[in-house]
Amino acid sequence: MVIHQEFITFIKTVFMKTKSLIILACISFTTLGIYSCSKLKSLLQYNLNMQTASYSFTIPITSDTSKVNSLGNVSLSYNIDSFIKASTSNVLGLSNITSAKVNSVVFTLQNPDTANNFANIQNATVTFTSNASNTPYTLGGISNNPDVYAYTLNLQVDSTQNLISYISPTTNQFNYSISAKLRRPTTDTLNCTVTVQFSVHVQG
């Protein structure tokens, strides 16, 4: 059986056109998929509770009630980028932070007694800096602390203040300073833990 050259040419032309349409369709679907994934990522947003500090320190015996005394200074490392990635299944990271606000600052005594507890403290503050900003910011404070026995102390915080200037792609160091004015001297050292929690908002 003889196959005419015109028929062969026709078959080749149909094949090439079909192949081009398939390639074009694949490119279109791939591009659409990339666009859809990118668009979906941009819609993702999370509010994450981030605890950068939970550390223990010793409050020394203090007899001076006339001035504000330093109770402790500490520097801690914290990988914010790893925290965000772990919380968002590696979809978002540090570069996606739009805000960072302090949620709470809480002190807890491990060995209080009737003569040595938070009733001894009249007022207290916690300030912090980071390797992104060395300008001290007061995370929380309390004035006229009630003169009643207590082993926990919740400082008042401004949860509306955006502290994103203290966070950058290289931020991994946080420095905390604790100070207080006593209403009564302490007669024994006190083991204390302070916990600082932030709320960070991330968006794709």
Rounded CA-CA distance 13/19 in Å is: 10
Cα torsion for 28, 29, 31, 33, to the nearest 10°? 160
pLDDT band at 164 (very low <50, low <70, confident <90, very high): very high
Question: Which among 16-20, 30-34, 81-85, 169-173 has the top mean pLDDT?
Answer: 81-85
pLDDT at 184 over 50: yes
Tell me what percent of the residues of the chain surpass a pLDDT of 90: 55
pTM equals 0.74
- Detail the DSSP E strand segments found in the chain: 45-59, 69-77, 97-109, 121-130, 133-142, 152-157, 173-182, 190-203
57 to 6, 31, 43, 62, 143: CA distances (angstroms) = 92, 56, 42, 15, 22
Element (H, E) at 167: none
The rounded mean pLDDT for the chain is 83
DSSP letters along 82-139, please? HHHHHHTTTS--GGGEEEEEEEEEEEEESS--SSSSGGGEEEEEEEEEETTEEEEEEE
